[in-house]
Amino acid sequence: MAFEYLSNVALDEAVSGFLAALDERGFAPRKEYVPVGEALGRVTAEPLYAAISAPHYHACAMDGIAVAAKATFGATATTPVTVQPEDYIVVDTGDPLPESCDAVVMIEDVVFEEGHGIDELGTCPVILHASIAPWGNVRQIGEDICAGEMLLTSNVRIEPAAMGAMLAAGVQQVGVIARPRVGIIPTGDEVVEPSANPKPGDVMEFNSTIFSGMVRQWGADPVAYPIVADKPDLVQKALVKAVSECDIVLLNAGSSAGRDDYSSRVVAAVGEVLYHGIAMKPGKPAILGCAANTAIVGVPGYPVSGIIVIEQMVKPLIEKLLGCSTPGGDRVKATLARPCTSSLKYEEFVRVRVGKVGDKLVATPLSRGAGVVTSFVKADGIMTIPQNSEGYEAGDQVDVRLLRPLADIERSLVVIGSHDPLIDEIAQLIHKSNPELSVASTHVGSMGGIVAAKRGENHCGGIHLLDEATGTYNEPYLEKHFPKGGVRQVECVYRQQGLMVAPGNPLGIQSLADLTREGRRFVNRQKGSGTRILSDFVCKRDGIDTGAIYGYDHEEFTHTAVAALVEAGSADAGMGIYSAAKMYGLGFVPVCEEQYDLLIPDYAWDTPMVQALLEVLASDAFRARMEELGGYRLDHPGRVRRHFE
């Protein structure tokens, strides 16, 4: 029988069971009073009533003269009424309405007799060409709110205008729900304070920073505790202290089954373990427990797993302690751009890029690695795949919770195609000159870009597909894949492709043929990428058996990923562009100059995003930046090479 070390409880069941157990143990909101000036964003703990009326006196609402309305009755354009100086009082907006007056005439409606002017206002008679109704231009006592009326119910977030209303209504202290205190304990012998030059094996402690930011955004107060070594008694001591000081304690890492994974034992020693092992991915080894009325969550060490666990399990706890919901992203349906399989055993949470192409939202799955924290930086949303589902096919409608406002997503240029660092540079230039626009790029190779355009799922894609028969780039492929037209082939750059090797090329690698030698290791690009087609082409042309190249089936998705592996010494060579080699300080053996074009479907041509892209391509700033990166030649970027109509 397989070693089953954890349970596999459905996520919903675990969260509701956890909340119910905590409820029984007195896990509830606490109340405190704060000055109104400090109440922004806090949640009211009780209904809030006006102490006085606002305004608390009859206030003049306009600059002009206060009068008894009666004195103006009958005034019209043809039958003006003259008011004597002793029958009116000059007032400004906000002044208390003088006694004996019950209306205010605006200064622009006041006319002077021949020989008098504004300087004499107050001492000369004035003429009115219209009557004013009683209480005209007066803000009566309690117009805004009357003493004793309810200003806010309990359990609402306090907004700036509400703070002003409280002060106007004579309220100076407000009863709010105390911010939940969330303690975060990082553990692990390998975990160290962040630095710019960590030693091999050091894991920089950044989870606390992520988790603190998340709970702070939801209205809790994070308390970051120092890193604790992997010693059960030290972890226990830290947990006891945190439990006595906080409402919720996050014990970070050691939730799994490794030799130093003590978390569940320690939680059991300090309090009780309610659940260990949840049917979710990532995050399955999470621990839910408590000690007295403090909740304890054993959060897995991988940052992505931690983020998902905190969203799914800690957010409901904070909401419970705040007595109100926290802001969350819109939920939308999107069309999946690539297939995404899933285990029947778990509910899965997959980071996705989301863009709007035509009238459909398109979701492209990002890296699913639990350690890939940048996938959250790139993500526009989280797709959920229910437990008991084997996943989705490309084109399926999927559920996505957005991490950015929909309006921003609708204004992003969806780039799906071949990878080149220039895509990020274009993104920077587009966003700099059009702050309302952004770029969402996904790297799926040139063929992936063509497929996306056929399905109406991108605004543009980089392509560099060499046609062996003609020796030309891209055009023959577009002819074949778009027989009915509907796309433009737009010139972008010419770039140097070659073998990226260790600095100074110590192994003297001159060609792919050299990589068939014993002990040489290659790293390749994924099938369908233009760079892969180039490697395959060169091997075929030169009669090289790809099976004889160690690592030919080791595939990476980007030039930079290949460069990083060569730099780390995990491979001796990889095919890629000069700029990536330069970025990593690597040696470079040129293989060819290739034509990197952009494929732009007709349906996207007139969008503001594509128009901004064309402007950037033609700009001096783009040219200058490409020169800095190196390995590019620019002729007429942005020019339409051919419109396939």
Ligand X SMILES: Nc1nc2c(c(=O)[nH]1)N[C@H]1C(S)=C(S)[C@@H](COP(=O)(O)OP(=O)(O)OC[C@H]3O[C@@H](n4cnc5c(N)ncnc54)[C@H](O)[C@@H]3O)O[C@H]1N2
Binding site for ligand MOO (CB under 6 A): 281-285, 300, 302, 305, 370
Q: What residue has token string 């009325």?
A: 293
Tell me how far, at minimum, the Cβ of 394 lies from ligand MOO, in Å: 24
Task: Supply the minimum distance, in Å, between the C-beta of residue 223 and ligand MOO.
Answer: 24
CB neighbours of residue 241 within 10 Å: 14
Choose the one of ligand MOO, ligand X, none that binds residue 186, judging by a C-beta under 5 to 8 angstroms depending on kind.
ligand X
Write down how long the chain is: 645
Position with the least CB separation from ligand X: 301
- The distance of closest approach from Cβ of residue 207 to ligand X in the complex, given in angstroms and rounded to an integer, is 3
* Residue 182, beta-bridge partner list: 222, 248
Q: C-beta of 568: minimal distance to ligand X in Å?
A: 17
Q: DSSP string covering 240-284, please?
A: HHHHHH-SEEEEES--SSSTT--HHHHHHHHSEEEEE-BSEES-T
Q: Using CB under 6 A, which residues numbered 478 to 537 contact ligand X? A: none
Nearer to ligand MOO, 368 or 623 (CB): 368
Which range of residues in 294-302, 386-394, 467-475, 592-600 is near ligand X by CB under 6 A?
294-302
CB of 422 to ligand X, least distance (A): 32
> Judged by CB under 6 A, does residue 284 bind ligand X?
yes
Say which entry of ligand MOO, ligand X, none residue 594 contacts (CB below 5 to 8 A, set by partner kind): none
Give the nearest distance from C-beta 2 to ligand MOO in angstroms: 17
| Nearest CB to ligand MOO, comparing residues 100 and 388 | 388
Segment 145-204, which members bind ligand X (CB under 6 A)? 186, 188, 190-191, 203
Quick check: 389 and 342 in contact, CB under 8 A?
yes
> Which pair of tokens denotes residue 15?
């969260």
Nearer to ligand X among residue 120 and residue 190 (C-beta): 190
Per-position x/- string for 353-382, each x denoting binding to ligand X as judged by CB under 6 A, each - no binding: -----------------x------------
285 binds ligand X (CB under 6 A): yes
Place of tokens 């110590």: 506
Minimum distance, C-beta of residue 201 to ligand X, in the bound complex (Å): 9
In whole angstroms, how close is the CB of 344 to ligand X at the nearest point?
Answer: 16
Q: Which is nearer to ligand X, 258 or 405 (CB)?
A: 258
Q: Is 446 exposed, middle or buried (0-12, 13-18, 19+ CB in 10 A)?
A: buried
3-class state of residue 360 by DSSP:
strand
Which x/- pattern over 236-275 shows residues binding ligand X (rule: CB under 6 A)?
----------------xxxxxxx--x--------------
Give the nearer residue to ligand MOO in terms of CB position, either 257 or 618.
257
H/E stretch holding 163 reads helix 160-168
CB of 15 to ligand X, least distance (A): 18
3-state secondary structure of 420: coil
By a kind-dependent CB cut-off of 5 to 8 A, residue 419 interacts, out of ligand X, ligand MOO, none, with none
Name the nearest CA neighbour of 591 among 571, 576, 606, 607: 576
Query: Two tokens at 32?
Result: 């405190």
Please state, in angstroms and rounded to a whole number, the distance separating the CA atoms of residues 397 and 7: 31
CB 128 within 8 A of CB 72: yes
Cβ proximity of 378 and 368 under 8 Å: no
Q: How far is CA 168 from CA 145, 156, 410, 576, in A?
A: 9, 19, 41, 66
| Cα-Cα end-to-end distance for the chain | 62
Choose between 286 and 523: whose C-beta lies nearer to ligand MOO: 286
By CB under 6 A, name the binding residues for ligand X.
Answer: 186, 188, 190-191, 203, 205-208, 252-258, 261, 282, 284-285, 300-303, 305, 370
